[in-house]
Amino acid sequence: MKCPRCQHTDLKVLETRSTGTSIRRRRMCQHCTQRFTTQERIERKAPLVIKRDGSREPFEREKILSGLRVACRKRTITALQMEEATDRVEQHVLSAPGNEILASDIGRLVLDELRGMDLVGYLRFASVYQEVQSPSDFIKLLSPWIETPGEE
């Protein structure tokens, strides 16, 4: 690692903090005394995601976060809540047995997170993920939240 100011490699770690999924280190260059912060994340071998068409691609955490951002756009969900939900999905994917996972399994994990966070975000994501084509498909998605007449 090099100092961002002078490019020297003689650095001293002043402080280290764990932030759950990463490690934050405060560093100081011994040559120019510039202080800066670095974030370190444990790199794990990500599984391959098996898409609907049978193709495979590496798991990308950013795709989960991006999907949550789109689903929760203009909602009261904070960036921290979306990051935490993404962390939980990623943790589950990385701890799954084998080196491949179905995209549909990841989609269900995201839906489970959204179900507890925001109903509108859940419906937005589900409408794309489950390929909703008609109003009756939306009614089926809403059925767990709709009270039927006569129920209390």
Do 69 and 82 contact (CB within 8 A), yes or no? yes
3-state secondary structure of 4: coil
pTM listed for this prediction: 0.65
Of 22, 6, 24, whose CA–CA distance to 14 is shortest? 24
Position 48 pLDDT exceeds 90 = yes
**What pLDDT, in 10s, does the model give residues 7-30?**
999 999 999 998 777 899 999 999
| Assigned token pair, 105 | 């399994």
